[in-house]
Chain A
């Protein structure tokens, strides 16, 4: 069984289930603080996006989204592992990496408000060559991605929020243009973006005193 065949086994999810699961994963990316949960949610979101893209593109091309999303998740996981917490660190939960500028309850409330906005405006949004299900997916993922960018300064969360926005955009772009080169550029670009985000995650995380990684007195990464 090839990877593409394996991917096709998941075709049961294509359509509304994939949209709902992607929407939930995007909400987790914005709300959750735990890095493991956030990275897992992003990897899951990428898989759901790949399933949705398989309705617009040849399966092999759509599969790239899952592969790239998985690679980004691995890069971020390895970066975050370098910053893992000490078992008996003296710092409180709030003081540890990753630090976020708001409470989880506040972010959850913001997501609820985004949902209200979504229900209020969804019928007024018109996108070319996109059916209502995809329109809803694009709108919801864009809204939550932008919300994540507004709420987070921590590179891990903000970076994944940016990738969520780009994922939403891909649904629109590939509904309009089915071009092999463009698929390659978009996925390759996302991979490089993931690399830059992983670098920023390490740079930011090493500044925290409880991180396992060490920096010298000049702050230079070792």
Chain B
């Protein structure tokens, strides 16, 4: 009997090796990587967890537990949902990267990164999961640097904080194991809770620990940066949810929801305000992404049953918004050979669809109407207002900052083109931009389209076990 986790991870790592060998044939590597992840996403979504199936004549049980020494790997309904999301994200990102020149190492290393992220969702004991996140961060170094000499700030910063988080989790695991030995003493739980909170602060990197996000935006290819943010942040938040459900005393010992709310609001305000004053596409992408991440943290921190569905909804819509913005920014950066706003003059005349994608992605990150994020943000603002109207005001201030930044970036692309010739965007990019923009507008007009996927994830997420 082939166990699901083994099959999934082994196929991803095998594909990683194969794609690495083919990396010089970019089209083949991109299509192979996208194809493998798309097929695996579909298979993971369709195959049942509770009953074995026959695949190519061999029995395969997707939900089978794999035990090795003290490690356990198992696909649960919640981790299955995350795996499908990550695989689908990778498939879309590989196609975008293929047409927007993101570096050929992205395809093989992206596959390995997805495998590690999925491993985080499967691994037990929970306190070892941050070690896998560090492995993913190490791989991220090569993706961000993309073979270029020069600045290493982004790659270094995204590696630093997860690595510093690991000690907190491992020492917390010792306290957690000590606690049952003396049930009357609550000290081990309290110390473990503090250690876990500190570990999660380093892992989630809200402001003021946000320095990796804008640094990665400035240095990494845009689609790679968006891929790393969406995947890495979703996995970190999933891990947080696993901890909160597995260790109920964590919420009781410290008001973690309140921490998340405050940190989320601070992150969103800082990100939004700083977006408005950036002078480069990378800077705007980084801080707009930071604002969006802050909003997501606020959703995770909301009390009651509405917070988790809203957070799930936001994760789906922010994926589309970030990828749309990144695709536009990548194409503009590539053709204009520039990142600073004053050097983008005339881009709209040669790259109209890329500029449109940039503008629509930015508007979606600000939560404007007719974009994918509008309905989810609106729902979040209503929930936040019920708790404290001032928080909603702060989030709106941040959204105004993102809006200003987006308008500045779009405005910079108009005007007369400079003397140097700029190649027109290829038809494939036009198609990609059109699909992304249309999908955003469609979700803005009919947000109910996401009701079924969100509903399918909520129950497993709220009840997920260790």
Chain B binds chain A = yes
Contact with B along A69-94 (1 / 0, CB 8 A): 00000000000000000000000000
Q: Is A43 an interface residue (CB 8 A)?
A: no
* Cβ–Cβ < 8 Å partners of B167 in chain A: 165-166, 169, 172-173
Contact with B along A167-208 (1 / 0, CB 8 A): 001001100110101100100010011011001101111110
Q: Is A55 an interface residue (CB 8 A)?
A: no
Bound Cα distance A219, B147 (Å): 8
A200 touches B131 (CB 8 A): no
Whether A200 touches B163, Cβ cut-off 8 Å, given contacts A177-B174, A185-B128, A221-B147, is: no
* Cβ–Cβ < 8 Å partners of B138 in chain A: 192-193, 195-196
Whole-angstrom distance from the CB of B139 to the nearest CB of chain A? 8
Quick one: which of B134, B164, B174 contacts A189, CB cutoff 8 A?
A: B134
Interface size counted on chain A using CB atoms at 8 A: 35
Bound Cα distance A193, B141 (Å): 10
Q: Chain A interface: which of B81-89, B150-158, B225-233? A: B150-158
**Smallest CB-CB separation from A208: which chain B residue?**
B149
Whole-angstrom distance from the CB of B435 to the nearest CB of chain A? 30
Whole-angstrom distance from the CB of B352 to the nearest CB of chain A? 27
Whether A204 touches B150, Cβ cut-off 8 Å, given contacts A158-B156, A195-B138, is: yes
B135 touches A181 (CB 8 A): no
B156 touches A200 (CB 8 A): yes
Tell me which residues from 147 to 172 in chain A have a Cβ below 8 Å from any Cβ of chain B.
Answer: 149, 153, 155, 158, 162, 165-166, 169, 172
Bound Cα distance A189, B173 (Å): 18
* Cβ–Cβ < 8 Å partners of A185 in chain B: 128, 131
* Cβ–Cβ < 8 Å partners of A179 in chain B: 70
A189 touches B148 (CB 8 A): no
* Cβ–Cβ < 8 Å partners of A218 in chain B: 148
* Cβ–Cβ < 8 Å partners of B166 in chain A: 189
Residue pairs across A and B with Cβ atoms less than 8 A apart, 24 shown, are: A162-B163, A165-B167, A172-B171, A176-B171, A181-B71, A182-B170, A185-B128, A185-B131, A189-B134, A193-B134, A193-B138, A193-B159, A199-B142, A199-B145, A200-B141, A200-B152, A203-B145, A203-B150, A204-B149, A204-B151, A219-B150, A220-B148, A220-B149, A221-B147
* Contacts from B to A (Cβ < 8 Å): 69-71, 128, 131, 134-135, 138, 141-142, 145, 147-153, 155-156, 159-160, 163-164, 166-167, 170-171, 173-174
Shortest 4 CB-CB distances between A and B: which pairs? Answer: A206-B149, A169-B167, A207-B150, A215-B149
* Contacts from A to B (Cβ < 8 Å): 128, 149, 153, 155, 158, 162, 165-166, 169, 172-173, 176-177, 179, 181-182, 185, 189, 192-193, 195-196, 199-200, 202-207, 215, 218-221
Extra contacts, 7 of them, besides A189-B134, A192-B135 (Cβ < 8 A), are A166-B167, A172-B167, A200-B141, A203-B148, A203-B149, A204-B152, A220-B149
